[in-house]
Structure 1
Amino acid sequence: MSLNTIEQNRTRQSLTDYDEIWLFGYGSLIYKVDFPFIEKVSASIKGWQRRLWQGSHDHRGTPDNPGRVATLIPAGKATCVGIAFRVTHEVFDHLDHREKNGYLRHEVDIFFNGSSLVKKGLVYIASQDNKAFLGHLHDKELAEHIHRSSGPSGENRDYVFQLADALRAMNVVDEHVFAIEQQLKNM
């Protein structure tokens, strides 16, 4: 798979098949909402966990020194809490470009927290077979990698700090993100 997934995403789903489109955000889409939305609510998806295992060659790193950003890893009975945004078709021109570094749109069931409501929606996932995937490192090594990375969108460590703060504001405990945040604070 190419690093640039814009064209792949444009052909993955027919957005006109959706009466309403819900987008699930679990990383920077939680705290950097640079797209218009109709509605936003706390939500979750099942069978996935958030991990800082995706390389960022274009935002939080460079081609020579990619940063680390969140992706989702299949995880049996795990639940990943984030934000669901109700959006229009037009927002995907921007989002496909923003999430172009190995992320593909996938259809998922989105569970709306605090209710029994479940709707089909879309989420961007950078799977393990994409060229930008960096994979697992022990917490200290992962934090060291993040600490020395930066790109056009800023320091990689700021990504982790902003994500951790956003999760805390939502009353979400993410042991992985918080462990990396703590390692970074100790440096």
Structure 2
Amino acid sequence: MLANTVAQNQSRQTLEHYDEIWLFGYGSLIYKVDFPYLEKCPAYILGWQRRFWQGSHDHRGTPENPGRVATLIAQAGSRCDGMAYRVTAEEFIHLDHREKNGYLRHEVPVFLINESGQQVKKLGIIYIADEENSAYLGEDSEEAIAAHIANCRGPSGENSEYLIMLDEALAELGVVDPHISQIRWHLSNLI
């Protein structure tokens, strides 16, 4: 069964109480920006780690052979870097559909990094796929995750492309994520 969360996300938050809405991207939302935005800037959140523990039945894999994509896991003392976008509430019609495979919207503090390097704290929206959703694949070694990724393809392309593009987008932000780097190193030995 696919974990379609569109209706659940639309009933979770109306977004009407926001003066401005900041969406935090930590996976494909960093490099595949297929929605209009009013403003963007590098950002980070605290207490979360990026992990390739979520299954992708609809983008980077199939129901028979789900790919692996990024989600977040809670980890005290951690920092997850990404990109924040100021968007209108209307954009969540598209975003909820795009992130429908097990991801739920959550409100978190997002620390925006402006052009002068100053940090500004805002309330933001992130999509997280936790272990309760049916598409969750869970923890595995970076080597096993790389082997899994090497053998998956979906309507949005090769699963390996997702990993490589995310790693390159993080590098452009000056971010090294050891989990991502180790998976990519193992993947490079397979393809």
Map 1:106-121 → 2, pairs under 5 A: 106-113=106-113, 114-121=117-124
Q: Deviations over 1:127-147 (max 9, x none)?
A: 111110001111111100000
Gap regions ≥5 residues in structure 2: none
Question: Secondary structure, in 3 states, of the residue corresponding to 2:119?
Answer: coil
Distance 2:44 2:70 in 1: 15
- Tell me by how many angstroms 1:167 deviates: 0.3
Question: Secondary structure, in 3 states, of the residue corresponding to 1:121?
Answer: strand
Distance 2:130 2:91 in 1: 22
Q: Is the 8 A contact 2:111 2:119 kept in 1?
A: yes
Map 1:11-160 → 2, pairs under 5 A: 11-113=11-113, 114-160=117-163
- Tell me by how many angstroms 1:122 deviates: 0.2
Aligned AA (1:172): V
Distance 2:2 2:21 in 1: 26
Q: Is the 8 A contact 2:2 2:57 kept in 1?
A: no
Distance 1:77 1:177 in 2: 19
* Equivalent residue number for residue 168 of structure 2: 165
Q: Identity, % of aligned pairs?
A: 59
Moved more, 76-85 or 112-121: 112-121
* Equivalent residue number for residue 184 of structure 1: 187
- Tell me by how many angstroms 1:186 deviates: 1.0
Distance 1:17 1:131 in 2: 31
C-alpha root-mean-square deviation of aligned residues, in Å? 1.1
Gap regions ≥5 residues in structure 1: none
* Equivalent residue number for residue 177 of structure 2: 174
- Tell me by how many angstroms 1:116 deviates: 3.4
Distance 2:129 2:166 in 1: 17
- Tell me by how many angstroms 1:169 deviates: 0.6
4+ residue segments displaced more than 6 Å: none
Distance 1:13 1:108 in 2: 13
Q: Deviations over 1:12-31 (max 9, x none)?
A: 11211101000000000000
Provide the TM-score with structure 2 as the length reference. 0.96
Q: Is the 8 A contact 2:51 2:72 kept in 1?
A: yes
